[in-house]
Amino acid sequence: MTYKASDLEKLSVEAIQKYKLFFIDDIVAYLPCSRATFYNHGLDKLDTIKDALTQVRTEIKVSMRSKWYKSDNPTLQMGLMKLIASPDELKQLSMSHIESNSKHEITGFDIKDIIKFK
């Protein structure tokens, strides 16, 4: 069966919104075409599909963070704090913090040394 890219695009966006899909590969399960057809039509590159996936991901992330904020669970509250903390606050929350101030420099570099190894 032959499928129009525009029809598959519309079905893809509808499936993303209806089933709250996060990934391109999940979309194909809800379409009447094969995975190869989906990719051959270049649907994975369309901004409408990418934007629909991004919108669903954003809605879910906002919802989860809201639940974490309202929760009495210390683990969820700590997870949220780590997401929203400033670098200084994050450093204070961390059980271990490794700070590196190393400077890497190349000294005594001579092209003749490299030629000798070839």
Q: What is the greatest pairwise CA distance in the chain?
A: 67
The domain locations on the chain are 5-91
Q: What are the pLDDT digits (tens) for 45-65? A: 999 999 999 999 999 999 999
Q: Is the dihedral of CA 75, 78, 55, 45 positive or negative?
A: negative
Residue pLDDT, tens place only, 76-107: 999 999 999 999 998 888 877 677 777 777 66
Residues 118 and 88: their CA atoms lie apart, in Å, by 49
Question: What mean pLDDT do residues 62-80 have?
Answer: 95
Is residue 23's pLDDT more than 70? yes
